[in-house]
A and B are shown apart, each in its own frame.
Chain A
Amino acid sequence: MDVYTSTSVAQANSVWGNLGPSVWTAIFFAIAVFFAVYSAILIFHWFSFSMRSRRAIMATVLYLGVSSVFIFSMLASIITLTTL
């Protein structure tokens, strides 16, 4: 076990552990902005070119519903990392 918890892991811990709250906030917002832009393009495609608007609505609800779970998990992890 000691072999694996040696220098590289310790360095990784120190690198990620020493990031300040502002850096984590910036990382989170960068991911959120990328997600928002990409999602807007996807949803635009569904509503512009799809033949059935009902299916496009269902896809949007499913996509945003599951994505929000991942985004809240990310947010919760960042809050835990920066506060605890």
Chain B
Amino acid sequence: MKQTLLQKNIHLQTEEAILMVVRKHWFIHFVDSLSIIIIGVIPFIAVTFIAPFITVHPALPAFFTAVWMLTVWMMLFTVWTNYYLDIWIVTDKRIINIDQIHLFKRDVSTLRIERVQDIKVEKHGFFATILDFGNLQVQTAGPEASFYLIKGIPNPAYVRNAILERVDMATEHKNSFEYNKEQRPSNGE
């Protein structure tokens, strides 16, 4: 099922195997959600403090609280959607970055594994160190060297090692292929 849905969205090449699917660390989602949850609590605090001093129809605060909570609930699921659909897929041939910026903006970029030159792991802050999440900065080879930043992923060192292992395999395969190509004409002579 997972493979079918992925292929529907991404179009994997023939014989391309998915090595890992990486999503942002839960703590990043928790921090994003926390501010919305705090906003959601406001009407309950307001009603508790203001209720003794005013007399309104009891259905009125109930109505506004329900509208407020519905809005907060929708916001919470919007944040979750952005988190859930923001993924990186590492295959044996490519790194696919699906960046869900907001509901109407979705960027999909691909980096071929042979183009990866170096990967740097960045962990900044107390929670990133304790909970083991951070950024991966992938440097690409080529005439225009560029960086490919993957933010807030769990266990970044493991992901880096897995990608570099695959890069080494791809490089060795490429070198042996080129070596055989150079050797073949001389064997025939």
A49→B60 contact, CB < 8 A: no
Give the number of A-B contacts (CB < 8 Å).
Answer: 98
Q: Using CB atoms, name the residue of chain A closest to B6.
A: A51
A70→B81 contact, CB < 8 A: no
Q: Using CB atoms, name the residue of chain A closest to B21.
A: A51
Q: A42 to B73, alpha carbons, bound, how many Å?
A: 12
A59 to chain B, nearest CB (A): 8
Most B Cβ at <10 Å: residue of A9, A49, A52: A49
Q: A12 to B52, alpha carbons, bound, how many Å?
A: 16
Report whether over half of chain B's contact residues are helix, strand or loop; otherwise say mixed.
helix
Residues of B within 8 A of A46 (CB): 81, 84
Residues of B within 8 A of A67 (CB): 70, 73-74
A31→B60 contact, CB < 8 A: no
Most A Cβ at <10 Å: residue of B55, B60, B77, B78: B77
A70→B73 contact, CB < 8 A: yes
Q: A7 to B52, alpha carbons, bound, how many Å?
A: 17
Partner of A49, one of B2, B58, B70, B106: B106
Interface size on A, residues (CB 8 A): 37
B53→A5 contact, CB < 8 A: yes
Residues of A within 8 A of B65 (CB): 73
Considering the complex of A and B, which 8 residue pairs feature the smallest CB-CB distances, nearest first? A77-B63, A4-B53, A80-B59, A73-B66, A70-B70, A74-B66, A77-B59, A77-B62
Other A-B pairs, 18, CB within 8 Å; known A51-B9, A59-B77, A67-B70? A4-B53, A13-B55, A16-B56, A35-B70, A41-B103, A42-B77, A42-B81, A49-B85, A51-B5, A51-B6, A59-B80, A70-B70, A73-B66, A74-B63, A74-B66, A77-B63, A80-B58, A81-B59
